[in-house]
Structure 1
């Protein structure tokens, strides 16, 4: 997708009603965890912001995904967007997403042009409410990953994301008692599933409804 058209399209579509749950369900692990979609959020919920950061190399449109290092925790080793939990010093989740992206992959937050947001998504296992912020750079990025936060950066071609060839399914053994039938995207040899895949599903839905 041509970069200028992509940005113009997103600027328009992100102001319209978003599909939310309809799109999220397409890439949700099964059995469905209905706690993701309740109207009233639980007590003690933690707000977080992630950034879908578009840029171009002059030929195609890209955004970075990151792989988390292995650590004791819910999201160890998983593929994600740059981002993290909201701090008291953040004015809003947009500022959270920009700050975390600067900290994790070295992109100056002042150089990111924010377009809007996709639908919030609740992650029951970690009690995070994730707000996906969408923005872009007017020049190719020079990523500087923080090794404590990022084990690798995967530049993701938007045309690849829109290809049916990377849409796959598997059974993930979470522990001895939990198995999840899981849709995922296979991107550069990595399994992109869970909340990240669900957010990408909404992005795809928005882009594929370009004529509506």
Structure 2
């Protein structure tokens, strides 16, 4: 695991070369949403973790899936950073005062929900508990060490019954796929944390993570 250097990631996010590896449709000018890619030190060990949420199984879109905290931009949100922070505070109790913004990824379009989604990348102290604020929206919070996510044995190519394929992460009983996996993959590239893995290893998205609208086929390719 490379040394955690937020300055290097901030510089990469600010640079003119954007990650081509996102591999899904760019934003189309649709209604905006933002998600928070929250990175911080893992308590008790020399590692960095990312905060993921397990969406409630009763939601209309992306039910039961592993995602980043986030949601639609409200009229009162001055920036998409405001959106990401507000949603994270509402969903998992994150204190905005404990967050330092590092930059953004380019927006991508999510066809099933008709949103343009921007991933906001940030760091925090990692010292405070994060728990679901509303069980009807978030079922659980998972802080997953990047040394685990980047290990080759936890990387697969996800396959969807409707034909979608894309990067995925398998950690214990969690299966991270779709938009979240694409965005996480891009951040790993930018930070220089990506490790080689065998893209030929394919894994069908487990039924547990397919409880969604029948229109959902995974992110649309670029």
TM range (shorter): 0.7 to 0.9
Instruction: Give the number of aligned pairs.
Output: 191
Using the size of structure 1 for normalisation, the TM-score is 0.81
Runs of 4+ aligned structure 1 residues displaced above 6 Å come to none
Higher helix proportion (structure 1 or 2): 1
Distance in 2 (alpha carbons) for counterparts of 1:99 and 1:153: 16
Alignment of 1:12-161 (within 5 A): 12-20=11-19, 22-25=20-23, 36-37=25-26, 41=28, 45-56=30-41, 57-58=43-44, 59-146=46-133, 147-161=135-149
Measure the CA separation in 2 of the matches of 1:19 and 1:166.
25
Matches of 2:159 and 2:101, distance apart in 1: 36
Shift of 1:179: 3.7
Q: Is the 8 A contact 2:51 2:143 kept in 1?
A: yes
| Alignment check: 8 A CA contact 1:2 1:60 kept | no
- Gapped runs of 5+ residues in structure 1? 29-35
Question: What residue ranges of structure 2 are gaps of 5+ in the alignment?
Answer: 195-222
Query: 1:183 Cα shift?
Result: 3.3
In structure 2, C-alpha distance between the alignment counterparts of 1:49 and 1:64, rounded to whole Å: 15
More displaced 10-residue stretch of structure 1: 187-196 or 79-88? 187-196
How large is the RMSD of aligned CA atoms in angstroms?
2.1
CA distance in 1, matches of 2:160, 2:167: 10
Which TM-score applies when normalising by structure 2? 0.78
Instruction: Find the aligned partners of 1:18 and 1:187 in 2 and give their Cα distance.
Output: 30
Shifted more, 183-192 versus 196-205: the winner is 183-192
CA distance in 2, matches of 1:73, 1:169: 25
